[in-house]
Amino acid sequence: MSSISRRHLMTAAAGLAAATAAPRTVFAQAAAPAPAATAAATGPFTLPPLTYPVNAFEPHIDAKTMEIHHGKHHAAYVANMNTFAKDNPQLATTPVTDVLGNLGNVPEAIRTGVRNNLGGHANHTMFWQIMGPKGGKPEGDVLAAIDRDLGGLEKFQTDFNAAGGRQFGSGWVFVIVDKSGKLSIETRPNQDSPLMDGKRALIGNDVWEHAYYLNYQNRRPDYLKAWWNTVNWAKVSERYAAAKAGTLGV
């Protein structure tokens, strides 16, 4: 686990004491600057480093796509948030879950920008975290929940892929997990996040063309099928346990 992730988890754990009946949990930005991808990315928001090489998912996701997706697209969301934070420092000191869960509190002039860029930052932070080489298979509580709520692994993956395929234009397909551990499939357009609805994503797949176009061009269904080879199920199990404990951040 990276030091940044560890800080996030520790911060989230520290916020637990304040969590009561509300499902909202705390996820503060790391305050310490990390090596920035670009000069524009310096500031309180940081790009979480990948914990695996960019070629880790060949041939399912090519190295160039990973490099651009993480180092350019995600980095741009981070850089844009740092620009917003210059005049609005509260964006960086308020937990991401709280900012996205209360967008009405963000100044109107930057609200759409924060929705898009902080949403993108949160979605991609989750995305890199749930992927990993040698990802294994779902087991234990997660597998039991998939069987109970989503009709078993095969039906779940078919339905998830279909939902991702139906998402018109750019967006995401998620598995939402509630505090009781119940799972459901939902999609969002653009960089909208389930956090905006006070919900938590167990996993999500990015169906923006930037996630697959170099290798798959218009063949999004092929990408959706291949992506399952990149999922780190041990990490998904950790997130599932955290969701039930009320400590899952982004």
Residues making contact with Mn ion (CB under 5 A)? 206, 208
CB of 68 vs Mn ion, minimal distance in Å: 10
Q: Which is nearer to Mn ion, 192 or 206 (CB)?
A: 206
20 vs 8, 11, 26, 93, 187, CA distance in Å?
Answer: 20, 16, 12, 21, 28
Q: Which is nearer to Mn ion, 122 or 145 (CB)?
A: 122
Q: Which is nearer to Mn ion, 25 or 230 (CB)?
A: 230
Q: What are the start-end ranges of the E strands in the chain?
A: 171-177, 183-189, 200-206
Taking the CA atoms of the chain, what radius of gyration do you get in angstroms?
A: 17
243 vs 37, 79, 96, 201, 232, CA distance in Å?
Answer: 31, 29, 16, 9, 17
CB of 206 vs Mn ion, minimal distance in Å: 4
CB of 185 vs Mn ion, minimal distance in Å: 19
Q: What is the DSSP letter of 149?
A: H
CB of 18 vs Mn ion, minimal distance in Å: 32
Distance CA 13, CA 141 (A): 22
Residue 157 CB coordination number (10 Å): 17
Q: Which is nearer to Mn ion, 156 or 208 (CB)?
A: 208
CB of 6 vs Mn ion, minimal distance in Å: 24
CB of 2 vs Mn ion, minimal distance in Å: 19
Q: Which is nearer to Mn ion, 57 or 208 (CB)?
A: 208
Q: Which is nearer to Mn ion, 209 or 238 (CB)?
A: 209
Distance CA 154, CA 146 (A): 10
Across the beta sheet with 171-177, what order do the strands follow? 183-189, 171-177, 200-206
